[in-house]
Amino acid sequence: MEEIKNITYEEVLEMIKDFPVKPRRNNIIISVDVVTVTDELNLERDTFGEVQYVLATGPFNKDIEPGQRVLLDIERMTESHRNDANELVTSVKITPVDVDGRMFAMITDAVVLAIDERVYEDE
């Protein structure tokens, strides 16, 4: 399995200069960074993080800009379905966007709860 590598703030600043995909309307292209979660049933697993970087925005987005971090409503983005073993599986619903071999996600601004202006160690 390929190692998942989160995007850094420096990489975001470089990418947004000439990001080749321009979303329409109120869509946003974000990173797909993951966080490690620990719980009783699965001691270590990666999960889609609630804080993501914005790489590109559609023309109807007036308060969200490329380079910002946003806080997402993950609960609103999830969907549940049954797999082949008839177990209930919950996953995050995104539209994947491949740019030069790196995966990003297209979402609507309706799932953005806030702009995250906290200072993180990677900045």
User: Is 3 within the bounds of a domain?
Assistant: no
The pLDDT of residue 1: 40
Q: What is the pLDDT of residue 52?
A: 95
Q: Is the pLDDT of residue 81 over 70?
A: yes
Query: Which tokens hold the place of 92?
Result: 């995050």
Quick check: 89 pLDDT over 80? no
pLDDT score of 119 more than 80: yes
| 102 within domain boundaries | yes
Dihedral of CA atoms 91, 94, 95, 98 in degrees, nearest 10, equals -90
pLDDT of the residue at 44 = 44
Write down the pTM of the prediction: 0.81
Answer whether residue 1 is part of any domain.
no
Q: What is the CATH number of the domain that holds 103?
A: 2.30.33.40
Using one digit for the tens of pLDDT, what is the confidence trace for 15-68? 999 999 999 999 999 999 888 665 554 444 457 889 999 999 999 998 999 999
Q: What is the pLDDT of residue 87?
A: 77
Domain range for 84:
9-116
